[in-house]
Structure 1
Amino acid sequence: MGACTSKSHKPNPYSLRETLEAPQVPETPANNAAAADAGKKSPFFPFYSPSPAHYLFSKKSPATTTAKSGASTPGRLFKRPFPPPSPAKHIKSLLLRRHGSVKPNAAAIPEGEEAEGADLDKSFGFSKQFTSRYEIGEEVGRGHFGYTCSATGKKGELKGQRVAVKVIPKSKMTTAIAIEDVRREVKILRALTGHSNLVQFYEAFEDQENVYIVMELCLGGELLDRILARGGKYSEDDARAVMIQILNVVAFCHLQGVVHRDLKPENFLFSSKDESSQLKAIDFGLSDFVRPDEKLNDIVGSAYYVAPEVLQRSYSTEADVWSVGVIAYILLCGSRPFWARTESGIFRAVLKTDPSFDEGPWPSLSSEAKDFVKRLLNKDPRKRMSAAQALCHPWIRSHSDIKVPLDILVFKLMKSYMRSSSLRKAAMRALSKTLTEDELFYLREQFALLEPDKNGSIKLDNVKTALMKIATNAMKESRVPDFLAALNALQYRRMEFEEFCAAALSVHQLEALERWEQHARCAYEIFEKDGNRAIMIEELASELGLSPSVPVHAVLQDWIRHTDGKLSFLGFVKLLHGPSTRTLVKVQ
């Protein structure tokens, strides 16, 4: 996403480097129709080819985008001959205006973006001793808004050590948003510490001309380069090893309340040239803090990796997991799951089409590998696995001894459960009794991380202790500790594993499985024996917290059996989802 550059000549299909710079087709009604057919592979892309900006620091690197929220949703369809609107048009303009690369009035930018040349405060409060602390070396990469050099420490703890220095010229910071992007990137890098798959941040400096971000120097190259070196395809074992490292760092960031928002092969570096070297997540320039119960609405990321809900302007950490799913698809089959000749075509493909698992090599890959990727690329973020859940997937854990990280999703689900009616809690307990061993594995791992007492139960103190053990300063920014207030009921009572399964169970994720109908029917049978009872419509409305203004009889009459006044199967399934007044009204 964002402003893309291209060469004017036809790519050489025998050169992988050339395929990365396929020409961008001007958007017309004719080629829009062709672009909508995103399932077709480009003749110029015999192997995987990423976004037009394939190098993180390439001179042709503005393939990332940022855009403020708008009222319209990308992808609305108009009657012919008008093509669908292009999300790329306003996204590109906003990216350029965000960083002051467009002259005032050169493009119509909504929502009050600052004009170029405004009187801006470009002081960050960083140390001004960069030249006395580091000897700058050769340039190792160049991006749209800065460049990266190697450097050597001249004194202090890093004396004699080689580091990477990201240099961001202040002359490029011509809007308040651009300045805030840099400030937030440093804050996130400084707040996130201690993970082996995260590039290590050392310190930040500034002078009148530049901001300098000093980080760990990774000499192993990009994950993208290794994909290309292998001809665009990894074995399942090698792909699994890469995915474990990516998922570990993504789960860590999400638990701390940070969403990366630009995960792609270019943004993962190997620490050394060794084949088994560690993978490091880099480039938090588009990252942001997100509270567990809130949504972001800026359109950011890179076109081939952007999640559907990002284009719909309402998303959270699940958007990163979608991007990880795209990377997994690429690693396993060597091509992109969504492709079109224009960025708006890619966006429509992401919103409307499903990835193909019919072409080679998918038929020869394991069913577990295909299921793994499909569950990462579910268009409904509620049905998508979390990063921690993905580490518990059979494809991952059956071949590796994985240390599962604590999952922020558990606390979101527990909050919903604790606020539920007694009737819904009974329904959730019935559903939890239908889980398979594979589904229980994740819940057992999460419960163990909360360190239950000798009686096998947890209280609020267990939750707080577990979080504080792995907390960074990022948690304070994302207000994760405040989120625990929703679990205050655990301060006065204990929760055993059986109830924890009901509390930390995602109905939406179960609903995405082929065996969902079996789960629901079995759970209803259990509920009929243990929890179902005669209930008045008014009582059910009260249980659901419906307003008296809602026509409850019209909405809920199908929820209760007329024969005995007990909850029907339809009512049971809807109760599991914890319907709101808004969704109930739609049932009419």
Structure 2
Amino acid sequence: MVHFSYSDTSRFTSLRHALASFKPSPAPPSFTSTWKQFKRQRLCRSSGRSSSSDTTITSVSKNAPLRLFGYRQDFESRYELKEKVGSGSFGTVYKVSSKQTGEDFAVKTIAKRWASGAQMEPLFVRRIQHEVDIYNHIGKPTACRQICHMLLSPKIDAGAGRSLNVAYLYGAYEDSKNVMLVMELCKGGEMWNRVRSGRYSEKDAANAVRDVLRTVAQCHARNVLIRDVKPDNFLYLTSDENAPLKAIDFGLAQYCKADENLREKAGTAIYIAPEVLKMKYSLPADLWSAGIIAYQLVTGRLPFTGEEGEEVSTQYMEKKQFEHKEVFRAVLYADLDFTRAPWDTVSPACKALVQSLLQRDPACRPTAVEALKHSWLSYTEEVASDLPLGGDIVQRLQRFGTYGRLKQIALRKVAHNIASDSALVSDLRKAFQQLDTADTGELASRQKALEQGGFNLSRPEMQQLVSQLVDEMDEQGDIQYDNWVAAMVDWREVEHSQEWHDWVQKAFEAFDVDGSGSIGIKDLQDMLCQGEICAVPDTVEAAIREADVLDQDGNISLEEFEALMHSADTDALDLFDTRHHS
């Protein structure tokens, strides 16, 4: 065992702080996933305070005591529980099948935590709501009615839209003891299992790293810091060689803007960034973790070497064993090996990207978007799609799916106000007319346009993308022109038009039903749920959490609405997989 030298006071102080509040948890050791550690977590959200680079969010608003989340309570009548798939310190995953269709899904079961007075522990409530919010933030599920029967056999709580890089959340359920999250079942196994099988080339590694970085980039674009980027949290959808890779766990994720810092240690020790151990970190922490994954995929080992890293790397890769003190010391101080094989044979571009991700100074790492543009990962695909829009329709649908429900409807209202002869949408009008073969002004979703376009999509994925374009009240499941434009148009270009502010103002006024100058809960209830009980629980509350970011007063001001509607550079199509047949 290598012994730690106490002669270097600064190094000892950093390591002491890293260990001060650490308590080990079951393997795989995500060390804030134990309940005692979780109580020290705080939500990093935009709050209207100073936006300087040293902004640190450390407070948590109090939640009212709850006994129920308001999720559906008919899980047992809809699903048959099958074998256990896996477990962690916060929940257990089972395979389930629909009693109506026989189709298989995965369900994450989480035991409720109780405080005094038969109320759920407030921080547990935040933890569950937060994880569901993260999934919804990368694509908001909405109730899917007739469209589900047209494109697929009927599914309960089928969602709409969302990135294809994330396992699909179909719905949330609860009973008196547990919360159950029903999700897409990924049958292809973890990415690391494919590395062990010897099927990985440098090209395969690049494809996997690209998928990981796309997930990270999409999350960062929505101000979500994942905090637990590791191979265990990425599964292949099927066992096919070209199967897509999907992120499956956002249990430690937090909302955090690029100019904000978190101070709670969170993550899995082997993949944790140095600055997390120093308790001052932001979005670049996920890039270090992605760098560790990239290193493993290329070399089959960890990067740590020398006196303070060699034994950690050997113990973990051979036995999956390590001491947290030794790992933290390696993360903070160990030399990183870029000389031993296979680094003498891999491409210089590969080596350059991995080295850039594993810079201990977070300011020296690329952003996820910058990393995706690196020559090792960038490529130009010749698109052979027969769809009028060409080969980026799947990317456009995914991008639209990552917008929250409120923003999606608001963009539809703006699209309605854009003149059909405007240069901004002229190509979209032509494309819609080509697909609208019956000349009805509506596009029948049953045409299966995506199937005809030569894309590598499963039927459930196809349904997820197309159903977001269908109005929930449309019993025929047809796609209206406004919905088509909202999903397909380049909103960054539209935002630069002279009419943009007027269009946003009109959309805001449409939501502000009572003319109070702000959008409240009743306004959202009327607009998002047609004044009835929302088919998807937490729809209104989630919209408030997404948009009410400046003063958090429970209402959405015009300024907050305009911020919600803004399209950042991080909305680029390159963040999303084309899903072209290879």
Q: TM-score, normalised by structure 1?
A: 0.52
1:374 & 1:380 partners in 2: Cα distance?
12
What is the CA deviation profile of residues 369-392 of structure 1, one whole-angstrom value per residue up to 9, with x for unaligned ones?
A: 111111111222222111111111
**1:316-327 matched pairs, under 5 angstroms:** 316-327=282-293
1:368 to 346, 349, 360: 349
> Does the aligned pair in 1 maintain the 2:113–2:121 contact within 8 Å?
no
Cα distance in 2 between the residues matched to 1:401 and 1:330: 31
2:339 matched to 1:358? Answer: yes
**CA distance, structure 2, for counterparts of residue 347 and residue 77 of structure 1:** 11
Whole-Å separation in 1 of the counterparts to 2:121 and 2:108: 20
Instruction: Point out the more displaced range, 474-483 or 194-203.
Output: 474-483
From 85, 90, 96, the counterpart of 2:21 = 90
What is the CA distance between 1:264 and its match in structure 2? 0.3
Residue 213, structure 1, aligned to residue 181, structure 2: yes
Q: Is the 8 A contact 1:98 1:175 kept in 2?
A: no
Matched, 1:192 2:128: no
Residue identity opposite 1:160 in structure 2: G
CA contact (8 A) 2:33 2:90 kept: no
Contact 2:186 2:237 in 1 (8 A): yes
Q: Secondary structure at the match of 2:167?
A: coil
Instruction: Find the aligned partners of 1:476 and 1:244 in 2 and give their Cα distance.
Output: 33
What is the deviation of 1:368? 0.8
1:487-502 to 2 correspondences below 5 Å: none
- Distance in 2, matches of 1:292 and 1:124, equals 31
310, 326, 342: which is aligned to 1:345? Answer: 326
Amino acid at match of 2:96: A
Over 3 Å counting, the alpha-carbon distance change for 1:255 and 1:176 in structure 2 is same
- Cα distance between partner residues in 2 of 1:297 and 1:249: 23
Going from structure 1 to structure 2, the CA distance change for 1:209 and 1:398 (only over 3 Å counts) comes to closer
Match for 2:129 among 160, 183, 188?
183
Moved more, 83-92 or 279-288: 83-92
Alignment correspondent of 1:169: 111
Contact 1:87 1:347 in 2 (8 A): yes
In the alignment, residue 131 of structure 1 is paired with which amino acid? E
Q: In terms of Rg, which structure is larger?
A: 1
Cα pair 1:86 1:344 within 8 Å, conserved: no
> Which residue of structure 2 lines up, in the alignment, with residue 252 of structure 1?
218
- Report the Cα distance in structure 1 between the residues aligned to 2:337 and 2:105, rounded to whole angstroms: 42
Q: Secondary structure in 1 aligned to 2:16?
A: coil
Q: Is the 8 A contact 2:32 2:265 kept in 1?
A: no
- Which of residues 229, 245, 249 is equivalent to 2:197? 229
Residue 302, structure 1, aligned to residue 272, structure 2: no
Distance 2:277 2:251 in 1: 19
- Aligned-partner Cα distance in 2 for 1:475–1:305: 33
CA distance in 1, matches of 2:37, 2:225: 26
| 2:232 counterpart letter in structure 1 | E
Are 2:261 and 2:281, in contact at CA under 8 Å, matched by a contact in 1?
Answer: yes
CA distance in 2 between counterparts of 1:325 and 1:84 reads 22
Distance 1:93 1:220, change over 3 A: closer
Report what 2:3 is aligned to: 31
Residue 287 of structure 1 corresponds to which residue in structure 2?
A: 253
What count of residue pairs does the alignment treat as equivalent? 356
Distance (Å, rounded) in 1 between the aligned partners of 2:272 and 2:33: 21
Structure 2 matches for 1:95-114, cutoff 5 A? 99=35
Match of 1:551 in 2: none
- Is residue 2:331 matched to residue 1:385? no
Q: Which secondary structure does the structure 1 equivalent of 2:263 belong to?
A: coil
AA aligned opposite 1:185: E
Residue segments in structure 1 that go unaligned for 5+ positions in a row: 1-24, 37-74, 103-110, 114-118, 408-447, 489-499, 501-588
Percentage of identical aligned residues? 34
1:131–1:355 Cα change, 3 Å: same
Write the deviation string for residues 266-298 of structure 1: whole angstroms up to 9, x where unpaired. Answer: 000000011110100011111111234322222
Amino acid aligned to 1:207: D
Cα distance change on mapping 1:366 and 1:97 into 2, 3 Å: closer
Give per-residue Cα distances to partners, 1:96-130, cap 9 Å, x unaligned: 8952599xxxxxxxx999xxxxx974522211111
**Change over 3 Å in CA distance of 1:309–1:112 after alignment to 2:** closer
SS in 1 for 2:22: helix
Whether the aligned pair in 2 keeps the contact of 1:378 and 1:384 (CA below 8 Å) is yes
Q: TM-score, normalised by structure 2?
A: 0.53
Quote the offset at 1:480 in angstroms. Answer: 10
Return the alpha-carbon distance in structure 2 between the equivalents of residues 344 and 287 of structure 1: 24
Going from structure 1 to structure 2, the CA distance change for 1:400 and 1:208 (only over 3 Å counts) comes to same
Name the counterpart of 1:54.
none
Whichever residue aligns with residue 184 of structure 1, its letter is H
- Structure 2 gap ranges (5+): 26-30, 39-57, 140-161, 313-321, 384-391, 400-488, 508-538, 552-557, 563-568, 570-582
Cα deviation per residue 1:253-272 (whole Å; 9 max; x = unaligned)?
11112111101000000000
Query: Which residue pairs with 2:239 in the alignment?
Result: 273
